[in-house]
């Protein structure tokens, strides 16, 4: 199958990293891949850099524009060059008004009009895009690379303390202060929890400072850019990753952490719902609130319920064996269900069900006859 992908390429951004990993999975799947990079930031893996030298030669069987909604579009020229054109994006709010810049929202309907299907990461995406796009709307969350996040065998489940963490770009949307509030209130209310639980936050965004450790007991704050090896060590030191996010397309740290054998407490909203299952994680209640202080907005997102978060923190503290079992199950299910290869297979199935017959059957046939690379031929990140 001959595929053209328009996407950012960068190891330092969400869409950029997804672009690199998605292209890698396509190559390993046996697709003939071409790329139209929206941005390029080095370093890039060699097999991705080689794609930049590959001349674009239409026609293409499939065109994918994987980027944020402000940049998503399919021009008439691109539409004519591909049998099927899809937009693939994520949005953390139920609507766009007063959140997306007005100039981008005014052009959204036109920019989406030439796609054969629009793919969102969650039902929240489809709710937001519904008024602006009348073609097939498909839910398929992007994936991750589980080979970078194998099960970690030195996690100490007999540690005298249970260790909670939050990791990532801990901006306002990630709501770290709600977690700090819940953890500190529970520590004041329950002496055993105060003695037996710790919370560590690692962020690459300003807003949290190590001086907070002087105010809050059993809190550590790390503000630094870490290499992958140090992130793995951080994951291995912890038992539960907490994600009280207001909205997520996917939440890569949560998938990574579960792949290593830990479990997650996460807001039961938006992208989290695509992997948040009570058999191997802990859904967190929330209230829907406007994303901005403007009565004209239709953009709502989640505010984690502090009392429910305290309940779940205490439950994990008191049920260490259950936490361990959930982490063990997550390490088997999450890599199998959410790798980029598994995601691309699901996407092909959903497009087959959503597109007109003549388009869907050709894509399905071309994917079926593609020859996946043997293990020794596979490219790795």
Q: How far is it, in rounded angstroms, from Cα 318 to Cα 339? A: 32
Phi, psi dihedrals of residue 334, rounded to the nearest 5°: -60, -45
- pLDDT per residue over 163-187, tens digit each? 999 999 999 999 999 999 999 999 9
Cβ proximity of 269 and 124 under 8 Å: yes
The confidence score (pLDDT) of residue 381 equals: 84
| All structural domains of the chain | 2-143+339-377 (3.40.50), 147-337 (3.40.50.2000)
Determine the pLDDT at residue 213: 86
61, 55, 14: which is closest to 35 by C-alpha?
55
The confidence score (pLDDT) of residue 207 equals 87
- Residue 283 main-chain phi, psi, to 5 deg: -70, 135
* pLDDT less than 50: residues of the chain: none
The order of strands in the sheet holding 240-243 is 219-223, 197-203, 162-168, 240-243, 263-267, 282-284
Q: Is the pTM of this model over 0.85?
A: yes
Tens digit of each residue's pLDDT (9 = 90 or more) over 190-212:
999 999 999 999 999 888 888 88
For residue 338, say if its preceding peptide bond is cis, omega within 30 degrees of 0: no
Report strand pairing: 300-304 vs 286-290. Answer: antiparallel
Question: What is the per-residue pLDDT across 313-367, written as a single tens digit (0 to 9) for each?
Answer: 999 999 999 999 999 999 999 999 999 999 999 999 999 999 999 999 999 999 9
Position 49 scores a pLDDT of 97
């Amino acid at each position: 199958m001959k595929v053209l992908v328009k996407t950012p390429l960068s190891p330092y951004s969400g869409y950029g990293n997804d672009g690199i990993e998605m292209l890698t999975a396509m190559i390993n799947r046996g697709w003939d891949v071409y790329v139209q990079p929206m941005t390029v930031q080095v370093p890039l893996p060699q097999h991705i850099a080689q794609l930049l030298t590959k001349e674009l030669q239409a026609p293409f069987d499939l065109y994918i524009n994987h980027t944020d909604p402000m940049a998503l579009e399919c021009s008439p020229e691109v539409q004519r060059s591909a049998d099927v054109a899809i937009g693939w994006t994520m949005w953390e709010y139920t609507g766009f008004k007063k959140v997306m810049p007005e100039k981008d929202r005014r052009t959204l309907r036109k920019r989406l009009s030439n796609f054969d299907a629009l793919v969102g990461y969650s039902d929240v995406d489809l709710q937001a895009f519904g008024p602006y796009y009348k073609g097939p709307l498909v839910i398929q969350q992007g994936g991750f690379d589980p080979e970078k996040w194998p099960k970690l065998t030195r996690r100490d489940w007999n540690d005298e303390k249970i260790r909670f963490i939050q990791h990532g770009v801990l901006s306002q949307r990630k709501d770290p202060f709600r977690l700090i509030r819940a953890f500190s209130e529970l520590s004041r209310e329950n002496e055993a929890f105060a003695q037996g639980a710790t919370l560590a936050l690692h962020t690459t965004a300003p807003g949290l400072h190590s001086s907070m450790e002087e105010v809050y007991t059993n809190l550590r704050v790390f503000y630094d850019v870490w290499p992958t090896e140090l992130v793995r060590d951080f994951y291995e030191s912890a038992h539960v990753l907490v994600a009280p996010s207001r909205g997520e397309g996917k939440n890569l740290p949560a998938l990574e952490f579960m792949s290593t054998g830990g479990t997650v407490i996460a807001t039961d909203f938006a992208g989290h719902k695509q992997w948040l299952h009570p058999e191997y994680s802990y859904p967190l209640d929330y209230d829907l609130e406007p994303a901005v202080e403007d009565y004209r907005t239709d953009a709502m997102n989640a505010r984690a319920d502090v009392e429910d978060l305290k309940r779940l923190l205490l439950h994990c503290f008191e049920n260490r064996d259950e936490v361990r079992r959930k982490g063990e199950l997550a390490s088997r299910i999450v890599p199998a269900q959410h790798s980029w290869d598994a995601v691309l297979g699901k996407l092909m199935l959903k497009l087959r069900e959503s597109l007109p017959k003549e388009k869907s059957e050709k894509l399905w046939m071309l994917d079926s006859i593609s020859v996946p690379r043997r293990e020794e031929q596979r490219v790795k990140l």
